[in-house]
Amino acid sequence: VLTSSLTQHHSCDTHQGVYPNIIHVMYIEILQLSYVCLILLVFTGSFHVGDYGTLLKRFCEGEQQCYLRLMEDSLRPFVPAYHGVVQRDEQDYNMMDNLLTHFNTPAIMDCKMGTRTYLEEELVIARERPQPRKDMYEKMVAVDPEAPTVQERAQQAVLKTRYMQWRETLSSTTTLGFRIEGFRKADEECHTNFKRTKSREQVIEALDNFVDSNTTILVSGTFSEPRLKQLRQVLEASDFFKSHEVVGSSLLFVHDWTGSTGVWMIDFGKTAALPSHLMLDHRTPWEEGNREDGYLWGLDNLIDILSNMLPLT
Ligand X SMILES: Nc1ncnc2c1ncn2[C@@H]1O[C@H](COP(=O)(O)OP(=O)(O)OP(=O)(O)O)[C@@H](O)[C@H]1O
Binding site for ligand X (CB under 6 A): 14, 41-44, 46, 55, 80, 96-100, 108, 110, 250, 252, 266-267, 269
Provide the residue type at 121 as one letter. Answer: E
CB of 99 to ligand X, least distance (A): 4
Q: End-to-end alpha-carbon separation of the chain, Å?
A: 55
Q: Is residue 298 near ligand I3P by the rule CB under 6 A?
A: no
Q: How far is CA 96 from CA 122, 241, 281, in A?
A: 27, 20, 28
Tell me which of ligand I3P, ligand X, none is bound by residue 108, counting a contact when its beta carbon lies within the kind-specific cut-off of 5 to 8 angstroms. Answer: ligand X
Based on CB atoms, which residue is closest to ligand X, 48 or 227?
A: 48
CB of 105 to ligand X, least distance (A): 14
**HSE-up of residue 141 (Cα within 13 Å, Cβ side):** 14
Distance CA 227, CA 302 (A): 12
Cis amide prior to 44 (ω within 30 degrees): yes
CB of 150 to ligand X, least distance (A): 30
Provide the residue type at 211 as one letter. Answer: V
Based on CB atoms, which residue is closest to ligand X, 143 or 310?
A: 143
Tell me which residues in 264-293 interact with ligand I3P (CB under 6 A): 269-270
Tell me which residues in 233-252 interact with ligand I3P (CB under 6 A): 248
CB of 192 to ligand I3P, least distance (A): 9
Distance CA 289, CA 60 (A): 25
Tell me which of ligand X, ligand I3P, none is bound by residue 55, counting a contact when its beta carbon lies within the kind-specific cut-off of 5 to 8 angstroms. Answer: ligand X
Based on CB atoms, which residue is closest to ligand X, 75 or 152?
A: 75
- Burial environment of residue 53 by CB neighbours within 10 A (0 to 12, 13 to 18, 19 or more): middle
Q: How far is CA 210 from CA 98, 147, 203, 213, 295, in A?
A: 21, 30, 11, 8, 22
CB of 39 to ligand X, least distance (A): 7
Pick one of 57, 69, 162, 167: the residue that binds ligand I3P (CB under 6 A).
167
Contact 198, 192 (CB under 8 A): no
Pick one of 6, 11, 15, 230: the residue that binds ligand I3P (CB under 6 A).
15
The binding site for ligand I3P (CB under 6 A) comprises 13, 15, 117, 139, 160, 164, 167, 248, 269-270
